[in-house]
Copies of this chain bind each other. A is one copy, B any other.
Amino acid sequence: MEKFKPVLASSTWFGALPPYLQEAMFDRMRLKHLKAGQQLHAKGEDGVGFYGVCEGRLRVVTVGVDGREMLFALLGPGTWFGEISMFDDLPRTHDNFCETNSTVAIIQKNAFKTLLVQYPELYPHFTRLLCTRVRSAFQFIDSSAGLSLKHQLVKRLLMLTTSYGQHLPKNNPITLTLSQESLAQMINSSRQTVNQLLGELESEGLLKRHYGKITIPEPDTLFSRYQFI
């Protein structure tokens, strides 16, 4: 457990908690190890806890009525999630799978509730977390609505650069590890079209395609080129 504390605290949200609250939460965590492909929870299930990613990567997925999977988010180390069902006692909103072998820290629902009773000063921190959820959902909506696929793609790439390289110096080259297939699922498009669009962006000199990876030499350039118009 001890070795994951720095990772868990690297989250902007968790890092803003005063140390004694961080410790209070650490005290109530258990570790859970998961194999690649294993499901952490399913849409519609009762939520059993609040999670933090220690290592590995999780896929948050929605299955549409037509059976197609849509990739909603990729959760890397330092990401906290699962608080919605803790507060409203309603079922989970998404399916959640491990992309790789992973370790998560979990605070069980009971422990979570007693923690809030014991430390009501946690509330403002959780409203803060919920606000970031709402805002990122809104951003997601903005970027998937009324934009050309190419713009959606660029927006998604930029979202990925910021959520991964959390503490990166500005405008440094960044390499994203994900397949074109995954990217396509994120913007509800097809692999072929994504490949096509990445090709255009590559010939504009804005990125490079590799096997299972994409390199963006200057994120800011990509940003300024496509944020407007």
Chain A interface (Cβ within 8 Å of chain B)?
62, 64-66, 68, 70, 72, 84, 87-88, 90, 93-94, 120, 123-124, 126-128, 130-135, 137-138, 140-142, 144-147, 151, 188, 227-229
Ranked 8 nearest A-B pairs via Cβ? A137-B137, A130-B130, A123-B123, A88-B131, A64-B146, A87-B127, A146-B188, A133-B134
| A145 x B142 contact (CB < 8 A) | no
This chain: copies in complex: 2
A225 to B214, CA, bound (A): 42
| A109 → chain B closest CB, angstroms | 14
Q: Which of B65, B93, B94 contacts A229 (CB 8 A)?
A: B65
| A136 → chain B closest CB, angstroms | 9
Q: Which of B88, B128, B188 contacts A128 (CB 8 A)?
A: B88
